[in-house]
Structure 1
């Protein structure tokens, strides 16, 4: 079974994968920067957003605003988790389909090898019979 995986790994265009890696890293960095610049981001030093720092004298209002902000962020994270779960489920389905197709191709290749071997054997037998009769 390891030989099968080795042949699959040999068919992967690694040069394309390696050349695309910087683009993937750049895209991930851009996504991370976008998420960090999101409005209402909390200042790590104070633990307050810029809007909340201006209203520091109203503690109750500040706590309510912070609670509402946390609820909004929690809902946003739940939505992101749902979309990530959907993506993972889709990738798992695609992976299962890919494995099934690879198994079908492996079976076809096995039958092709058996057929080629039998054809070669019949060709050798026919060649021997022709050589013996002449």
Structure 2
């Protein structure tokens, strides 16, 4: 099982992921900023609902309520996306640090193994 994860982690282009992380954060922040601004102008569906026999004031009230709900949902989605992007950035940095640590440990184990073999060979020859 651990071998599968190691293989999967080796296949990830970490340098590209790390390079793309700032752009992902910026895009999420731009999305959050645009979601916080209220859109201007009437809805294109206003004319289509007039034919239903409902008064214009009632239609307008329903459309305003729907618009407010959509804006709330958009803000919540943008907040979630920004949070996920920040968590992704933290995760990428942590995984990169673990990758570097794993490489260092591998070199250390290799050096200890070589030193052990040298000491074993020296002890046998004595």
After TM superposition, list the pairs within 5 Å mapping 1:64-103 onto structure 2.
64-103=57-96
Which deviations, in whole Å up to 9, do the C-alpha atoms of 1:62-116 show, x marking residues without a partner? 1211111101110110111001100000000001101110011111111100000
After TM superposition, list the pairs within 5 Å mapping 1:1-134 onto structure 2.
6-7=8-9, 56=53, 62-133=55-126
Find the aligned partners of 1:5 and 1:100 in 2 and give their Cα distance: 19
Find the aligned partners of 2:85 and 2:124 in 1 and give their Cα distance: 58
Residue 8 of structure 1 and its aligned partner are, at CA, apart by: 7.6
Which deviations, in whole Å up to 9, do the C-alpha atoms of 1:20-48 show, x marking residues without a partner? xxxxxxxxxxxxxxxxxxxxxxxxxxx69
Find the aligned partners of 2:70 and 2:115 in 1 and give their Cα distance: 66
Residue 4 of structure 1 and its aligned partner are, at CA, apart by: 6.1
Find the aligned partners of 1:73 and 1:5 in 2 and give their Cα distance: 48
Find the aligned partners of 1:75 and 1:8 in 2 and give their Cα distance: 46
Count of matched residue pairs: 84
Runs of 4+ in structure 1 displaced over 2 angstroms?
Answer: none
Higher RCO (CA 8 Å, separation ≥ 6 residues): 2
TM-score, reference length from structure 1: 0.56
- Larger-Rg structure: 1
